[in-house]
Chains A and B, each alone.
Chain A
């Protein structure tokens, strides 16, 4: 059974810092990994999607890496801003020939990020 762990559970940093959020998963048989952002009381916003064959993806100040063999992904946020404050979730999609599994994402518990001015 896939388990996804995110460390740290919470992080508080001053504005301008570069920071790294970690995601680890127990079963390396994944199809892809997706990072989301969730603001309090809101839905999920997709940030980055990394296919299992890729090593990293970048979007603006965000960079996500994937080491499938070791079961790890990191989300790097450069020059953090107060507007980055949110909960960051990673989710893995299983690699399976059973189509019933395709949409069955396994989520981590999230990292609550606070960036203070």
Chain B
């Protein structure tokens, strides 16, 4: 039973390009959570999605960032017109439902570098 899978592991983008980060939840999980870890900072919650529905996006920057979790396929975190400040590690976690008692398993993350 594979864990949470994220790809790519490393992503380099030039300023102004778009970045797409993918997260495939654990089998049977329909809820996904995205976190960002900026250099020298702790992990910060970004967005919580259920399939075809955004539950809480209170941690998402208002501009350039969007997330989706379609009925089929992985969850996608999309960053348009990337800037140097977007360079960070992006992690996702998943759960079978909203009320999950057993802790969260995170993927290995995507490290985005904007040059």
Q: Indicate whether A and B interact.
A: yes
Answer yes or no: B115 CB below 8 A from chain A CBs.
Answer: no
Q: Complex Cα distance A46/B42, Å? A: 16
Select the stretch in B12-20, B68-76, B80-88, B95-103 that faces chain A.
B95-103
Which residues in window 35-58 of B have CB below 8 A to A? 35, 41-45, 48, 55-56
- Which residues of chain A are near B99, meaning CB under 8 Å? 99, 102
Complex: how many Å from CA A102 to CA B108?
21
Cβ B108 vs Cβ A46 within 8 A? no
| Size bracket of the B interface | 20 to 34
Q: Contacts of A41 on B, CB cut-off 8 Å?
A: 111
A77 CB-CB contact with B under 8 Å:
no
Given A4-B42, A104-B48, 15 other A-B contacts at CB below 8 A? A34-B103, A34-B104, A43-B108, A43-B109, A44-B43, A46-B103, A46-B105, A49-B102, A51-B101, A91-B43, A99-B98, A102-B98, A104-B59, A105-B33, A107-B44
Where the two chains meet, the residues of A that have a C-beta atom closer than 8 Å to any C-beta of B are: 4, 32, 34, 36, 41-44, 46, 49, 51, 89, 91, 99-110
Q: List 18 A-B contacts (CB under 8 A).
A: A32-B101, A32-B103, A36-B106, A41-B111, A43-B107, A43-B108, A44-B91, A46-B103, A99-B55, A99-B98, A100-B48, A103-B33, A103-B95, A103-B104, A104-B45, A106-B45, A108-B42, A109-B41
